[in-house]
Amino acid sequence: MGMTPGTLQSTTTSTSTITAYSALIQRAREAQLLGSTGHILSWDQETMMPPGGIDHRSQQMGLLARLHHQMLTDPAIAEAIAECESDRGFCEGDSIESANVRELRKDFDRATKLPPRLVSELAEVSGKGQHEWAGARSANDFARFRPWLERLVHLNREKAACLGVPQGGEPWDALAETFEPGCTAATVVKVFTPLRERLRVLIGELMSSSHKPSNRFNETKLPVDAQAQFVRMVVESIGFDFERGRLDTSTHPFCGGSHCDDVRMTTRYTESCLNDALGSSMHEAGHGMYEQGLLRSAIGTPVGEAVSLGIHESQSRLWENQVGRSNTFWKWCGPQLQRHFGACAAGFTHDEFYGAANVVEPGFIRVDADEATYNMHVMVRFELERLLMSGALDPKDLPGEWNRRYKEYLGVNVPDDRRGCLQDVHWSMGAFGYFPTYTLGTLYSAQFFDSATRAIGGLEAGFALGEFAPLRAWLNSQIHAHGRRYSPSALCLRVTGSELSSEPYLKYLEGKLRPLYSL
Ligand code: ZN
């Protein structure tokens, strides 16, 4: 994007608007420079920092959040935005400039609703809360985490009240807007309710089938060092650029970094199952390629930022599932694996590799879940965080309510809180209103992949030959390069010609799993 008059769509734009826009963009970029410094510190906290660093780090994060908030709410930003908005020719249409002004207005209005005290307190308590959660989780001790959860629930309810609950809505909606613009609990319920019924039927049928795919490969021990080399080769093959990104290890895989040329993703390895590391690395690489695919010339402006977590998750789920769990991918990956691991991986047929990537088994852990049961885990969390935010659920009752829903949704008895309500990091980081983006992303991924299949001849056949570049290029031009130029729903309509629907996903899932279970 440019800031010279020649790139603007309108010929009526005045010099003062151009000046105001340039000033606005400069301030947005400076705020991003500071904000992205915090992202590198968060990455460091998860990958490198010794445990002793936590108190000081939390203070650093609290201060950075306060300074970042100060920059975002500077009255000079409001003046520059207003100047741009007053030039109708400048703000109409969907030019990069008008999108930037529109999105910076939204960011400014949201940021000014939050008192600086709350912003820095949330950052500080989240940092410490996350640290305390990690300790409570490994000690399987909910009572240790409970006071932090109570504080974080309290602070987030305060945040929702400051942001303002939309008319006819609920506190959860105000928080979800940060992660998924336009998303409300009511719209989520509308998508989740029918999806849950179809999934319940499908899971029941798969579980009662007498034929199951072989799980043998998932029980094969492979040395972690060799796994790391292999996984790196795979994510590089699908298009992650190691000149502009890293892959490290952390307890919980994630993707962060400071901008499109410095993307930090992590994974984790278990000796007993390569598919854990492979699946989570392809997932994070999907996030990473979205970040690397953002417009370099728009760094620090909304058009150079990912549009929402749901769309972000569509990219990770697409590479993890539609690609990484596909029949043709394993025609390429299986032989690569046998060459790489030699005798350890010899003696597996294609059907065994492909089957092992698609075994369905209701369990306790979301991040280990297969494609059929995954969304049930998300639905449990959505219901619970909605109740926590409305005040209808007391944090002390969380374990009981969690376990009751797991029995109801997945038919499993949660053995302890470590494998129950303590398993996820999100609430300890103060992220409420986040979880549904996982399922929305899963639904988007199937819908996008359908469009890609129509647009690219021989797409899936190409995976068997290790040809992933056409898909990455398509995702880049259709999704990544737009940043926040279009809203998530407008982007979906633009890319797929339809609104978000669970049909493509259910069709994909049933079409793949039923044959694997001889149904
Ligand atoms: Zn993800």
pLDDT in tens, 363-414: 999 988 999 999 999 999 999 999 999 999 999 999 999 999 999 999 999 9
The whole-number pLDDT of residue 10 equals 47
| Per-residue pLDDT band at 212 (split at 50, 70, 90) | very high
The whole-number pLDDT of residue 5 equals 39
The answer to whether residue 164 scores a pLDDT higher than 70 is yes
Mean pLDDT of the chain: 94
The whole-number pLDDT of residue 151 equals 97
pLDDT tens digits along 193-205 = 999 999 999 999 9
What domains does the chain contain, in order, with CATH numbers? 15-172 (no CATH), 185-516 (1.10.1370.30)
Which of 97, 124, 180, 284 is flagged as catalytic?
Answer: 284
Q: How far is the CA of 285 from the centre of ligand 1 (A)?
A: 9
| Per-residue pLDDT band at 12 (split at 50, 70, 90) | low
Amino acid at 382: F
| Per-residue pLDDT band at 504 (split at 50, 70, 90) | very high
pLDDT tens digits along 43-96 = 999 899 998 999 999 899 989 999 999 999 999 999 999 999 999 888 888 899
- Here the tokens at position 138 are 């490994």
Measured in whole angstroms, the distance separating CA 67 from the mean position of its chain's CA atoms is: 26
Mean pLDDT of 319-342: 97
Cα separation, 13 vs 84, in Å, equals: 9
Tell the residue number behind the tokens 């009981």, with chain if given: 400
Q: Where are the alpha helices (DSSP H) in 244-361?
A: 274-292, 309-317, 327-341, 350-356
Q: How far is the CA of 224 from the centre of ligand 1 (A)?
A: 23
HSE toward the beta carbon, residue 436, CA cutoff 13 A: 29
pLDDT tens digits along 273-283 = 999 999 999 99
Amino acid at 7: T
Cα separation, 316 vs 321, in Å, equals: 8
Question: How many other CB atoms sit within 10 Å of the CB of residue 307?
Answer: 24
User: b vs e for 397-427, b when ≥16 Cβ sit within 10 Å of the residue's Cβ?
Assistant: ebbebbbebbeebbeeebeebbbbbbbbbbb
Beta bridge partners of 246: 264
Most confident of 38-52, 124-138, 472-486: 472-486
Q: How far is the CA of 436 from the centre of ligand 1 (A)?
A: 12
The answer to whether residue 111 scores a pLDDT higher than 60 is yes
Cα separation, 453 vs 327, in Å, equals: 15
Q: How far is the CA of 290 from the centre of ligand 1 (A)?
A: 11
174 vs 93: which has the higher pLDDT: 174
Q: Are 422 and 252 within 8 A, CB to CB? A: no
pLDDT tens digits along 221-251 = 999 999 999 999 999 999 999 999 999 998 8
Q: Are 372 and 357 within 8 A, CB to CB? A: no
Q: How far is the CA of 329 from the centre of ligand 1 (A)?
A: 20
The answer to whether residue 9 scores a pLDDT higher than 60 is no
Q: Are 16 and 89 within 8 A, CB to CB? A: no
Q: How far is the CA of 426 from the centre of ligand 1 (A)?
A: 12
- Here the tokens at position 495 are 């890319």
Contacts of 17 (CB under 8 A, 6+ apart): 83, 84, 86, 87, 90
CA dihedral 276, 279, 281, 285 (to 10 degrees): -170
Assign 300 to helix, strand or coil: coil
Q: How far is the CA of 185 from the centre of ligand 1 (A)?
A: 20
Helix or strand (DSSP H, E) at 256: strand 255-259
On the 0-12 / 13-18 / 19+ scale of CB atoms within 10 A, 390 is: middle
The whole-number pLDDT of residue 135 equals 94
Cα separation, 466 vs 383, in Å, equals: 41
- Residue closest to 273 by CA, chosen among 225, 221, 229: 221
The answer to whether residue 7 scores a pLDDT higher than 90 is no
Q: How far is the CA of 315 from the centre of ligand 1 (A)?
A: 8
Q: How far is the CA of 105 from the centre of ligand 1 (A)?
A: 28
The answer to whether residue 4 scores a pLDDT higher than 70 is no
Amino acid at 34: L
Longest dimension (CA), the chain: 73
Assign 413 to helix, strand or coil: coil
From edge to edge, which strands make up the β-sheet containing 245-249?
245-249, 262-267, 255-259
The whole-number pLDDT of residue 3 equals 40
Task: Please work out, in degrees rounded to the nearest 5, the angle formed at the alpha carbon of residue 515 by the alpha carbons of 510 and 518.
Answer: 120
The whole-number pLDDT of residue 409 equals 95
Residue 284 designated active-site:
yes
Number of H helices, E strands in the chain: 21, 3
Q: How far is the CA of 287 from the centre of ligand 1 (A)?
A: 7
Mean pLDDT of 18-37: 96
The whole-number pLDDT of residue 344 equals 87
- Here the tokens at position 516 are 């694997």
Q: How far is the CA of 209 from the centre of ligand 1 (A)?
A: 31
| Per-residue pLDDT band at 127 (split at 50, 70, 90) | confident
Cα separation, 99 vs 288, in Å, equals: 24
Q: How far is the CA of 74 from the centre of ligand 1 (A)?
A: 33
